[in-house]
């Protein structure tokens, strides 16, 4: 059974922003993309118009594996929005580069897991499509499609 990714009662969308539009549309074909420098190969996030490493203007969205390792996480319990069930947020280091990180929801992990079982665990990316936005969402690697 596939995982339910739609776990937030209220989803705050990103503001329209030409710089980042590719990121929020990227999931249309099921792939996660980050800006990548076509000269030096450096991935960066959040997106900027120049490579922050070599300052090249030749940066373009490039698909990544979507796989990574959990660096840290938290289970949000407080009901900032009444009725919202607890959920897990994770900070994930993507496989492509040691300093390429993304914060996103992590779904499919027991909320009472020992921290040591979550930190360092392998995850991959799925997408929740809502109102024209594709929200990347992490799930344990190998979760049912």
Partner 1 sequence: MSNNPERLSFISGIGRSASGRRLGRTAMDLTLEAALEAIEDAGLKREDIDGIATYPGGDAIASRGFGGPSGQQVQDALRLDLNYIYGSGEGAAQLGAMIEATMAIASGLAKHVLVFRTVTESTMQGMKGRNPGQGMQAASGFMEFLAPFGAISATNWFAQVAQLHMHKYGTTREQLAQIALTCRTNAGANPRAVYRDPLTMDDYLNARMISTPLCLLDCDVPVDGSTAVVISHVDYAKDAPKIPVHVNAVGSAQYGRPSWDQYEDMTSMMAQGVAKQMWSRTDLKPADVDVAELYDGFSIITLAWIEALGFCAQGEGGAFIEGGQRIARTGDLPINTHGGQLSEGRLHGFGHVYEAAAQLRGEAGERQIPDAEVIVAANGGGPIAGAMLLTRGISS
141's CB contacts (< 8 A; 6+ apart) are: 67, 122, 123, 124
In Å, what is the CA distance from 75 to each residue of 4, 17, 30, 41, 114?
17, 29, 26, 34, 12
User: Is residue 12 near partner 1 by the rule CB under 8 A?
Assistant: yes
For the four alpha carbons of 97, 100, 104 and 105, in that order, the dihedral sign comes to positive
User: Is residue 141 near partner 1 by the rule CB under 8 A?
Assistant: no
User: Is residue 41 near partner 1 by the rule CB under 8 A?
Assistant: no
Helix, strand or coil for residue 29?
helix
Return the range that interacts with partner 1 (CB under 8 A); candidates 30-38, 54-62, 101-109: 101-109
User: Is residue 102 near partner 1 by the rule CB under 8 A?
Assistant: yes
In angstroms, give the least distance from the CB of 54 to partner 1. Answer: 17
Length of the chain: 145
Return the range that interacts with partner 1 (CB under 8 A); candidates 33-41, 61-69, 87-95: 87-95
User: Is residue 3 near partner 1 by the rule CB under 8 A?
Assistant: no
Q: Which is nearer to partner 1, 13 or 41 (CB)?
A: 13
Residues lying near partner 1 in the complex (CB under 8 A) are found at 8, 10-17, 20, 45-46, 71-78, 80-81, 87, 89, 91, 99, 101-105, 115-116, 119, 133, 135
């Amino acid at each position: 059974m596939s995982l339910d990714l739609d776990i937030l009662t209220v989803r705050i969308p990103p503001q329209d922003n030409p710089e980042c539009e590719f990121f929020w549309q990227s999931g249309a074909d099921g792939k996660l993309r980050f800006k990548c420098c076509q000269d030096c190969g450096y991935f960066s996030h959040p997106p900027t118009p120049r490579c922050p490493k070599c300052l090249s203007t030749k940066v373009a969205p490039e698909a990544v594996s979507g796989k990574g390792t959990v660096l840290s996480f938290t289970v949000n319990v407080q009901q900032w929005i009444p009725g919202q069930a607890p959920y897990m947020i994770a900070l994930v280091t993507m496989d492509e580069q040691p300093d390429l990180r993304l914060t996103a929801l992590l779904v499919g992990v027991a909320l009472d897991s020992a921290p040591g079982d979550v930190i360092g665990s392998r995850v991959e990316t799925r997408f929740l499509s809502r109102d024209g936005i594709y929200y990347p969402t992490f799930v344990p690697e190998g979760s049912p499609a």
